[in-house]
Amino acid sequence: MENTHSRRNVMMGAAAASAVALTATPLRAQDPTLHEVQIQTFNFVPQTVQARVGDTIRWTNYDLAPHTATAVEFGWDTKEILKGDSGEIVVTSDMETSYFCAFHPHMKATIEILQS
């Protein structure tokens, strides 16, 4: 028996294979991003960081005085960051978004968690 392939059968098979390939391939989430915040002249720069869950935020201290980045309700904290040092956290979906410096409470900033 001779095996014949019509153009229509080949096209339908290709379309079906493509559909299977598309549904079998998981969608890749955006790669995590590193967000840099500078601590300078007793300010967090920028004062608002827009980040996604899984991103890392790094604070680097350019002041002579030590600082922290501490959640208002103390849910997370970078600990003391000395001049020239950095502290970081990974963004989670349930984390507090308002923070301040524990040594200098007038220093305040926020994290805006973006939806993926």
Name the more confident of 69 and 29.
69
pLDDT recorded at residue 18: 46
Classify 14 as helix, strand or coil: helix
- Other CB atoms within a 10 A radius of the CB of residue 52 amount to 16
The CATH fold of domain 34-114: Immunoglobulin-like (2.60.40)
User: pLDDT tens digit string along 23-34?
Assistant: 444 444 579 999
Ordered by start, the domain boundaries in the chain are: 34-114
Residues 6+ apart with CB under 8 A from 81: 39, 59, 60, 61, 66, 67, 68, 69, 87
User: pLDDT tens digit string along 8-62?
Assistant: 554 555 555 444 444 444 444 579 999 999 999 999 999 999 999 999 999 999 9
pLDDT recorded at residue 4: 55
pLDDT band at 116 (very low <50, low <70, confident <90, very high): confident
